[in-house]
Amino acid sequence: MNVLPKKWMWGVFFLLTTFVSLWFCGQATLRLKEYLRYGCITQGYVENFLVKELAADKYVIEAHFVYEVDSVYYQGATLLNAPVFLNRDAALQHVAKHWEEKAWGVWYDREKPSYASIQRLFPFKALFNAGLSLGILLYFIGLKNYMARKLCNSIKCKEGF
């Protein structure tokens, strides 16, 4: 009786785990690139806030702002990822209480100042997911190699698994 699953099952499992790891690494790379893109900061002023409905119980705020870089004025808009609200009224109350009449720091791309955002969040979750998926992939690669060596040692085989 064969202790290990058939080779094709390991191959399918390895490919699936590899694709998941590559997906998470790609997402982390894109989010980190976006984070690093906005390397300069200047002062800007929000012209207005709009509430956007993402789902029936998920509302976020979109801010339209103006900022100046090298004596040139730019306009931008940012969909604020945090905080997320359960209804439109809660979002409007939060804006009225905390964000009206406030100057904002505007993060922008030095090479293309028209690319800007008032929110710059470090992608902790995306990087964590990428690291975790790579760790799982490496674990299963190590497990396969360990089981292959153990099986070969127990039956004294000369060729690889």
pLDDT in tens, 90-145: 999 998 887 766 788 999 999 999 999 999 989 999 999 999 999 999 998 898 88
> Does 29 lie in the same domain as 46?
no
Phi then psi for residue 121, to 5 deg, are -105, 130
Percent of the chain at pLDDT > 90 equals: 61
pLDDT for res 102: 74
Regarding whether 143 and 101 lie in a shared domain, the answer is no
Q: Are 18 and 138 in contact (CB under 8 A)?
A: no
Distance of alpha carbon 67 from alpha carbon 73, whole angstroms: 6
Do 68 and 114 sit in the same domain of this protein?
yes
- Label residue 159 by pLDDT band (50, 70, 90): low
* CB-based contact 51:92 (threshold 8 Å): yes
Say yes or no: 10 and 73 in one domain.
Answer: no
Inter-residue contact 129 to 16 (CB < 8 Å): no
Calpha distance 105→121 (Å, rounded): 13
Q: Which CATH number is 49's domain given?
A: 2.40.50
Q: Which residue bears the tokens 């690889």?
A: 160
- pLDDT tier, 152 (very low <50, low <70, confident <90, very high otherwise): confident
Residues 52 and 102 occupy one common structural domain: yes
Angle at CA of residue 107, ends 103 and 109, nearest 5°: 145
For 28, residues 6+ apart whose C-beta sits below 8 A from its C-beta are: 123, 126, 127, 129, 130
Percent of the chain with pLDDT over 70: 91
Confidence of residue 88 (pLDDT cuts 50, 70, 90): very high
Mean pLDDT of the region 18-44: 95
pLDDT in tens, 49-69: 999 999 988 999 999 999 999
The answer to whether residues 74 and 128 belong to one domain is no
What is the spatial distance between Cα 161 and Cα 150, in angstroms, rounded to a whole number?
Answer: 10
Can you give the residue range of the structural domain that contains 49? 39-119
Whether residue 140 sits in one domain with residue 83:
no
Helix (H) or strand (E) holding 22: helix 7-37
Higher pLDDT, 19 or 4: 19
CA dist 100 and 158 (Å) reads: 74
